[in-house]
Every structure is written in C-alpha cells, then in structure tokens.
Structure 1
Amino acid sequence: MCLIVFDWQPDSDRPLRLAANRDEFHARPSAALHHWQDAPLLGGRDLEGGGTWLAATPGGRFAALTNVRDAHLATPARAPSRGELVTAALQAAEPQRWLQNLATAGAQRYAGFNLLLRVHDRLWVLHHGRDETTLSEVTPGLHGLSNAALNTPWPKLVRARKALRQALADGDWQTSMWQAMHDTRPAADAELPDTGVGLATERRLSPIFIVGETYGTRATTLVNATANGVIEIAERRYAGMGVPEGERVSESVSA
C-alpha cells in the first residue's frame, strides 16, 4: 500500500476501520483479494515477489505494508521483497517478539518500509527509514500512514484522514470512503514533501488516487474488524489510467 488511514479503537465493538490505496506499476503481476490455498490468509497477492501488501488471518490478526519513499535511502543488495513481511508477521508464532527481532536486526535487509500489525487488542507499527528503525505500539484514535513515518502530515494523508473522520461521524463510512479514496486532486506545490525524487514526481504522486498509464493506484481496500474476531475486507481494482478492473464486495475471516 501507499496510503492507509484507520481508526483504532481496541475497546470498542468495531476496533479497526481502515481504508487504503495500493499504488504500483500496472505491469507488476498480482492476484485480487482471495483466500489463499497455501496459507490461512485472506488478501491480494504479489505474483512476482510472492507476498502481499495487506492481509488478514482467522482469529483477528491483520497486517499491511507501505514503502518508504526516500531517494537517499539505499536499497540493500539482493533485498528480498517487502511483501513477505506481511505474510511472515501474520504467521509468526510470537508476533511481538518477531517484530522486536525485525526491528533490531532483520529490517536492514529490506528497502524502507512501514509494517502495521494488529493482534487482538494490540496494534504495532514498525518504521524502517534512512536514519532509524523504530517499533511503536499505536495508541487509540485516528491515524494515517503513507510513505513516511506514522502520521507524517503529507497532504494526501491529511486529506484522507479528515475524510475518514467525517465518514465515521456520518455513519455510512464505507460508502463515503470509496469516494474519498478516489480523490485525484494533486496537492499544492507549497505543501509537497521533499523526498529527493524531484518536484514533477512529487506532484504526480501527491493525489490520494494516482492516475497513470504505467504507474498508479491499482486497488482500494476497506477493512472492518469486529470485537468478536471477524475481519471483513472489500476491494476495488483498477487498471492503467484508473479504469475499473474488478471488485470483491466483501470477503471475511472469523475467529
């Protein structure tokens, strides 16, 4: 994923409500949201690297990944696909210890990333950037994650988080967020981050929903978790230039 906004309320009957956009090259092969045959996972699948950007397992575990955009952050030689981190997190026997080990040593094998992992009533984010690798427990409330650390106020994140706040207040949050996550408006130049990729690229990547022939938003995903361990996931997929490619209205895993 490249943009995730979510409401985390671990003590409520709806502990996690989340909206996300996956931005990727349209030529990279991937499978739509489905129940995997070779692992107890529900999610899309990167058919090139074998991992995934967002998935859930029976029992209420959920994970998602964003890349870190920083032209000054070197990618290690023979770096493995970051998508494998999601599948490993979801299947780790001791997830908190696995995260701690990743933060202290394993993360350096990968290009920059943010890994979000929910297990029951706990939610962690592991940020691996240029200057630091940090593991933090997410506090209850409304949050956003793009291609920098948690809640870094990039324009697209601020706009999407505001939309989620309004959608939750209005009641039918999913209908509102399908529309909000399809916002193609670019940010003003004065608001753009400087990640070292140049002004033209910052502009092109600044909308919530990126439209492009070779690179752009390929999927929007909504996640709704309930207190009894059920996680519902819905997905809309897009081809080049934002052309709709398909939809999975709702798939779920239970406790």
Structure 2
Amino acid sequence: MCLVAFDFRPETAVPLRLVANRDEFFQRATAPLEAWQDAPDIVGGRDLEAGGSWLAVHRGGRVAAVTNVRDPALKVSADAPSRGHLVREALECPDLAGWLARLAASDGWRYAGFNLLAGDGHRLWHLHRSRERLLLSEVTPGIHGLSNASLDTPWPKLIAARQGLAMALRRRWPEDAMSALSDSCPVDDHHLPDTGVGLELERRLSPPFIVGEQYGTRATTWLEWNDDAGVIVLEEHRYGPGGAALGKTRERIALTRMHLRDSSRHDRRGPSA
C-alpha cells in the first residue's frame, strides 16, 4: 500500500471511510480481496510471497493498513520480518493498544520503514517507523492522508487524494475518491519531494496512480464502516501492467455480535463540521 486517504469520525454511524492504492511489482504473487482460508475472520487482499497484507479487516471489528517508508538510506537486516505481517497481527492480537505500545517501545525497529494504521471503529492509531523515529500516535477525527513519508506529509499525491475524498464526501462517494486515485499524470518537477531516489524515479512515483510495465498500481480499494448497520464494505479494483483493468471484487462483512455489543456502549454524536 502506497497511498491512503481516509475520513475518521469516531462515535458516528459511519466512523471510517477510506480509499487506497497499492503499488507493487506485478510479478509478486498476490491473492485478491477475499476471506483468508487459514483465518476466515480476516477479509482482504494477500501477499502470497510473505503471507501478509496491505489492507484487511477482521469480522470482530478491526481494520489495518500498512505503507512502506521511502528512504534509501534506511538500512534493515536481511532477516527483517515482512511489514505485511503487521496487518494480520493488528487484526488478531487480543489487546490492540497494548500490542501497538510494545511495537512503539522497541519491537518496531525490527522492520523496514513503515506506516501502520490500525483501529476498531472507536479509536485509530498511526505507528511510524523511519530512520530516526519510532512514533505511535492516536489519529484525530477528520480527513487524513498517508503515503510513503508520515501521516499528512504534504506530498502532491497525498494532497490530491485527500481533496478527492473530501469532494466524494460532499458529492459522490466513493466515485469521486476513486477518480482522484486514478490520476496518472506526473507532478511538475518543482513540486516533487526529494526522497533520495533520483529525479526520474521521483517523477514516475509522483502521481496517485502509477502506470508501468514491471511496477505500478495494482489495486485501488475503497472501504466504508457502517456501525449502525454492523457492516464493513470493501471493494477492490485490480490492475495489471500498463494500468490494464483486471476485475473487481466487493465484500460485505457483517461484524460479530461481540463488536456490536461493544459499540452500543458508545453514545452517538454527529460528525464534526
């Protein structure tokens, strides 16, 4: 996952809407959005090489997503665990807040650079691991974006994704958000970030949707968590080399009674202005 825009509104009927692009090498074996055979309460796409995911939900009422941090100077051990495993652990651990705190205390340094979003519909956390920092914070209500730096770092693609989501929430959800993430026009050089990968690669990676023959955007996914209905809806659109459309899948995940019982303890408040 390399670009995420989301609207977090805890204690409302729809606490989370999210749209995201996953950028990856096309040769990397991947399973489409579905319930996992070895963990049927998890629904999401799956990296078949390492076994993890970039975005998935749990029927018990959890969501998690991960992006990498782009920094060629960040050195990592050859036996570092896959960052995709963080998504599954976030979904299955019995105490999400405690598990995140342990990662932030020391365990997170074992991984290559990453951003992890994880939440339960009432609270949402962001854990950032870069060369200098391992920092855990709670996400404030509102519209946010995440790419390959940190939360709300104003890269042009992130700004475009946030703006597209904001428009979608006012007009057409999820169509306007999906449209914003389908933009494949490179950014003007004077607006490019300098992440140490060279100008040519910065250009290729600058739009929300990356078109390539070996590497590019492989999936665009939107998610809506409807707490009143007790469901999370996910829809994944898949792409191949050159941006060719390869199909889409929609899953409607009914949350378990345990989650719904827990949710009923929270007072409802309208979304902030």
Q: TM-score, normalised by structure 2?
A: 0.91
| CA-CA distance at 1:241 after TM superposition | 0.8
1:77 to partner: Cα distance: 2.6
Q: Could you tell me how far apart the structure 2 residues matched to 1:188 and 1:250 are?
A: 37
Give 2:32's aligned residue. 32
Using the TM superposition, name which of 56-65 and 208-217 deviates more.
56-65
The letter of the residue matching 1:26 is: F
Find the counterpart in structure 1 of residue 246 from structure 2: 245
Structure whose CA Rg is larger: 2
* SS of residue paired to 2:5: strand
SS at match of 2:125: strand
Counterpart amino acid of residue 23 in structure 2: D
Aligned to 2:156: 155
1:43 corresponding residue in structure 2:
44
Shift of 1:189: 0.8
Q: AA paired with 2:183?
A: D
Please give the residue correspondences for 1:105-144 in structure 2 after superposition, counting only pairs within 5 Å: 105-144=106-145
Whether the aligned pair in 1 keeps the contact of 2:16 and 2:121 (CA below 8 Å) is no
Partner of 1:192: 192
| Match of residue 86 from structure 1 | 87
C-alpha distance in structure 1 between counterparts of 2:59 and 2:254, whole Å: 5
Structure 2 letter corresponding to 1:19? V
Deviations 1:36-58 (A, max 9, x none): 12112000000000010000011
Count of matched residue positions in the alignment of Structure 1 and Structure 2: 254
Question: Which amino acid is 2:82 matched to?
Answer: S
- Tell me the distance in 2 between the aligned counterparts of 1:253 and 1:74: 41
1:169 match = 170
Identity of aligned residues (%): 54
Partner residue, 1:67:
68
Matched-pair contact (CA < 8 Å) for 1:116–1:123: yes
CA distance in 2, matches of 1:179, 1:125: 26
Map of 1:14 onto structure 2: 14
Change (3 A) 1:244 1:213: same
2: CA distance between counterparts of 1:230 and 1:138?
A: 22
Indicate if the aligned counterparts of 1:114 and 1:149 stay in contact, CA closer than 8 A.
yes
Gaps of 5+ in 1: none
Q: C-alpha displacement at 1:11, in angstroms?
A: 2.1
Q: Name the SS for the 1:85 alignment partner.
A: helix
Deviation at 1:60, TM superposition (A): 1.7
Tell me the SS of whatever aligns to 2:174. Answer: helix
**AA partner of residue 173 (structure 2):** W
Q: Distance in 2 between matches of 1:6 and 1:202?
A: 24
CA contact 2:69–2:114 (8 Å) conserved in 1: yes
CA deviation map 1:113-161 (0-9, x unaligned): 0000011300000000011000000000000000011000000000110
